[in-house]
Amino acid sequence: RRAAAAGAGAQRDATRCVGGRLRPAVERRSARLRRAEAALNRGEGLGRSRQSVGAAARRGELQHDLARDLMQLDVPGAVESVDETIGAIPQERESLRRHLVEPALAHWRACMQAARDTLGYGEWSDRCADALADYEPEYAPMHELRPAPAY
């Protein structure tokens, strides 16, 4: 009986956390991310250019900031069993981190491709390479091989 009561209490705490704090925070952050994406998309309407490098870098940073903030949330352990959205995410902390960071990595890879396509190497591509190197060692910058900035 005591274990059932403790389980019910944890479930209530988790439900309160998801409904009261977590879901609204994620929804607000997602709305801000969508607005930023819309602004970046307007700039990219000009076609492939050096601005594409900066836009992709900024997208990666926004996604990474979201992932970092989600990983720092203090969430009760029972949340995974209460909320389907969160329950769908892998439960191990490292795989959760990788799952959340993957959109940022995709944007940073796009940044590096845009830099190659446009020869738009500079501050933004450096930021992308440095960020990618934290997760994918093959992107570790080799400054002596990098072309000189074209700005």
- Predicted confidence (pLDDT) per residue in 47-94, tens digit: 667 788 988 999 999 999 988 887 777 655 555 544 555 554 445 566
Q: Alpha-carbon distance 81 to 79, whole Å?
A: 5
Q: What is the pLDDT of residue 64?
A: 92
At residue 113 the predicted structure's pLDDT band, cuts being 50, 70 and 90, is: very high
Mean pLDDT in residue range 34-59: 79
Q: What pLDDT, on the 0 to 100 scale, is given for residue 41?
A: 75
* Stretch among 28-37, 74-83, 105-114 having the lowest mean pLDDT: 74-83
**How far apart are the C-alpha atoms of 115 and 12, rounded to whole Å?**
50
* pLDDT over 70 percentage in the chain: 58
Q: What is the DSSP letter of 22?
A: I
Length of the chain: 151
125-113-134 Cα angle (round to 5): 55
pLDDT at 24 over 60: yes
Q: What is the pLDDT of residue 89?
A: 46
Q: How far is CA 139 from CA 126, 142, 149, in A?
A: 10, 9, 18
